[in-house]
Amino acid sequence: MYRLGVLLSGRGSNFESILKAIESGYIKNGKIVVVLSNKANARGLEKAKEAHIDALFVNPEGLSRDEYDRKLVEILRSYNVDYVILAGYMRILSDCFIDSFEGKILNIHPALLPSFKGLHAQRQALEAGVRFAGATVHFVTKELDSGPIIIQSVVPVFDNDTEDSLSDRILKSEHKIYPLAVKLLCEDRISLKGNRVLIDGDFLDEGFFAINPVGGGRDGV
């Protein structure tokens, strides 16, 4: 059973989607053992407590980034965490944190990486005039939003989209692909070849299909 630690800063909707997948048995070999946040009022902490998961606010005030991240590492190690799941965690991890869990940190980004890295990815997509956007689950490396890609979802961009409407559509797809990525990870079906993630077996039958905006496709988002 893999022990998962979650870092979040806000509502924790992706954390909740992973938790529901564990509770339903979709993810069979993973357990969330602790949830940490840099925000005392993060709704995700309350959701974790409601699920009887240890949920801790770790105050970053007065600490350098390295000092704060070393504190997080100490807590995660005290829970014997195997993998770290970033679920709306709004701080850039320091090198010392990434070194401590190298190859063991997952993140989800609301864009089809390597396009539109960083903040406001949905706004970047609209400003670029793309016809498709999406989300990417990837391993975290020291270069921002550049780690090996595990899985991506694709959603259409409509002419009348706003940043909010596109964000909502992408978020729905995030709630499908993040649990799927964690499932694959906990089943030991993921391996790395250079910068490419290889997945053992077919995973498209897990219920994930990209939206086809022109019809005729299967819509699982």
The total of structural domains in the chain comes to 2
* Same domain for 118 and 55: no
Segment 195-209, tens digit of pLDDT: 999 999 876 554 454
pLDDT tens digits, one per residue of 51-107: 999 999 999 999 999 999 999 999 999 999 999 999 999 999 999 999 999 999 999
Residues 3 and 87 both lie in one domain: yes
Any catalytic annotation for residue 52?
Answer: no
pTM of the model: 0.91
Determine the Cα–Cα distance for residues 203 and 209; give it in Å rounded to an integer. Answer: 10
Given a cut of 60, whether residue 165 has pLDDT beyond it is yes
pLDDT at 218 over 50: no
* Mean pLDDT confidence for 206-219: 40
Cβ proximity of 181 and 137 under 8 Å: yes
Residue 193 sits in a domain whose CATH number is 3.40.50.170
pLDDT of residue 145: 95
Same domain, yes or no: 130 and 53? no
Q: Quote the domain boundaries for residue 150.
A: 108-221
Pick the catalytic residue: 52, 109, 120, 138? 109
- pLDDT of the residue at 211: 41
CA distance 127 to 121: 10
Task: Say yes or no: 120 and 148 in one domain.
Answer: yes
Map tokens 């989607």 to a residue. Answer: 17
Does 125 share its domain with 220?
Answer: yes
CA-based radius of gyration for the chain: 17
